[in-house]
């Protein structure tokens, strides 16, 4: 199943939100029903593409007769002024789908563009850039797809596909070691166990408990260096909390396997794309 199929429910909801019960009253008043034309979607600033198939599905749902030709595929970079897609068909349908298609494209390309820049910084250090579950409700699949198009790694899609023992799980379980033990007893080897550690004491506990991955949560670079020395390669490491584009470089150190950033999906600025009718 491709990304457009996976996202069709969200696309239909976005179109229904925009069209309401009255449809596109401006286009209906100004554009003759049979008028045909062509249009391009243009990158107004450099960006990493993500969401082309989603934009194509928007127009197909508005009017299946609209043609959509991808000129810059997802995962590739578009220079400023570059046409990334060409459309043809009835102008009424193109105009009706314009904003919904651009909303998806600008959001997804924005995520992919930021991710691409950070992944490029991290790659020479052997560090993966991960996303989180801090996503827009209903758009997680699209946002995580955009992270992947930017060269990032999807950490977990939801609560169902990975074990991450966080502070509240530790509190509810009576401690970090009991939490790890309960998870292993309940789940066996179905999942690897990741534990959030907010202090050096918890790092020691996580190592002793046999956690597969230790998340170093909201630690400054100096504390992380001490944590890495304690772990000494006995678990994979993930840095999380307080990391953004402005300070990523200070966390790219030997022993860090990955860095997760909620910023990618909740704060990436939208890319600048527009639709231009010829």
- Judge contact between 102 and 273, C-beta under 8 A: yes
Question: What's the chain's length in residues?
Answer: 278
The single residue of 24, 56, 143, 217 carrying the catalytic annotation is: 217
The single residue of 143, 196, 205, 238 carrying the catalytic annotation is: 196
Ordered by start, the domain boundaries in the chain are 3-117+269-277, 119-266
SS3 179: helix
Backbone angles phi, psi at 276, to 5 degrees: -125, 120
> Which pLDDT does position 1 carry in this prediction?
73
Asked about 99 being catalytic, the answer comes back as: yes
| DSSP H helices in the chain | 3-6, 8-19, 25-30, 52-62, 91-122, 140-149, 167-173, 176-187, 200-209, 221-231, 263-266
Instruction: Quickly name the fold that domain 3-117+269-277 has.
Output: Aldehyde Oxidoreductase; domain 3 (3.90.1170)
Beta strand 128-130 with 193-197 is: unpaired
Selection from 48, 9, 53, 80 nearest residue 274 by Cα: 80
> Which pLDDT does position 123 carry in this prediction?
97
What distance in Å separates the CA atoms of residue 193 and residue 213, rounded to the nearest whole number?
Answer: 6
Range 119-266: architecture per CATH: Alpha-Beta Barrel (3.20)
Asked about 166 being catalytic, the answer comes back as: yes
The single residue of 44, 117, 166, 182 carrying the catalytic annotation is: 166
> 């949560």: which residue's tokens?
217
> 């899609």: which residue's tokens?
157
Selection from 127, 60, 123 nearest residue 88 by Cα: 60
Asked about 133 being catalytic, the answer comes back as: no
pLDDT per residue of the chain (278 residues) written in tens, 0 to 9 = 799 999 999 999 999 999 999 999 999 999 998 999 999 999 999 999 999 999 999 999 999 999 999 999 999 999 999 999 999 999 999 999 999 999 999 999 999 999 999 999 999 999 999 999 999 999 999 999 999 999 999 999 999 999 999 999 999 999 999 999 999 999 999 999 999 999 999 999 999 999 999 999 999 999 999 999 999 999 999 999 999 999 999 999 999 999 999 999 999 999 999 999 99
The single residue of 134, 181, 184, 204 carrying the catalytic annotation is: 134
Tell me the two tokens of residue 27. Answer: 């286009």
The single residue of 82, 99, 182, 236 carrying the catalytic annotation is: 99
Asked about 217 being catalytic, the answer comes back as: yes
- Judge contact between 72 and 49, C-beta under 8 A: yes
């Amino acid at each position: 199943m491709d990304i457009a199929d996976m996202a069709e429910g969200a696309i239909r909801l976005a179109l229904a939100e925009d069209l309401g019960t009255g449809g596109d009253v401006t286009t209906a008043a100004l554009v003759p029903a049979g008028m045909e034309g062509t249009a391009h979607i243009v990158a107004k600033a450099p960006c990493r593409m993500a969401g082309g198939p989603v934009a194509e599905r928007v127009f197909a749902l508005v009017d299946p007769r609209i043609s959509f030709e991808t000129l810059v595929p997802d995962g590739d970079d578009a220079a400023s002024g570059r046409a990334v897609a060409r459309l043809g068909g009835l102008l009424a349908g193109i105009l009706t789908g314009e904003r919904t298609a651009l909303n998806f494209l600008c959001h997804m390309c924005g995520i992919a563009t930021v991710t691409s820049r950070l992944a490029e910084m991290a790659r020479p250090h052997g560090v993966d850039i991960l996303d989180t579950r801090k996503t827009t409700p209903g758009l997680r699949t699209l946002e995580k797809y955009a992270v992947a198009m930017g060269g990032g790694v999807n950490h977990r899609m939801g609560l169902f596909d990975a074990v991450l023992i966080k502070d509240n799980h530790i509190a509810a379980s009576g401690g970090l070691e009991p939490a790890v033990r309960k998870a292993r007893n309940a789940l066996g080897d179905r999942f690897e166990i990741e534990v959030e550690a907010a202090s050096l004491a918890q790092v020691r506990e996580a190592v002793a408990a046999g956690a597969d991955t230790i998340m170093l949560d909201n630690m400054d670079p100096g504390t992380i260096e001490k944590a890495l020395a304690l772990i000494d390669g006995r678990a994979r490491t993930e840095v999380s909390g307080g990391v953004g584009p402005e300070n990523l470089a200070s966390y790219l150190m030997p022993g860090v396997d990955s860095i997760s950033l909620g910023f990618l999906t909740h704060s990436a600025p939208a890319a600048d794309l527009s639709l231009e009718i010829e």
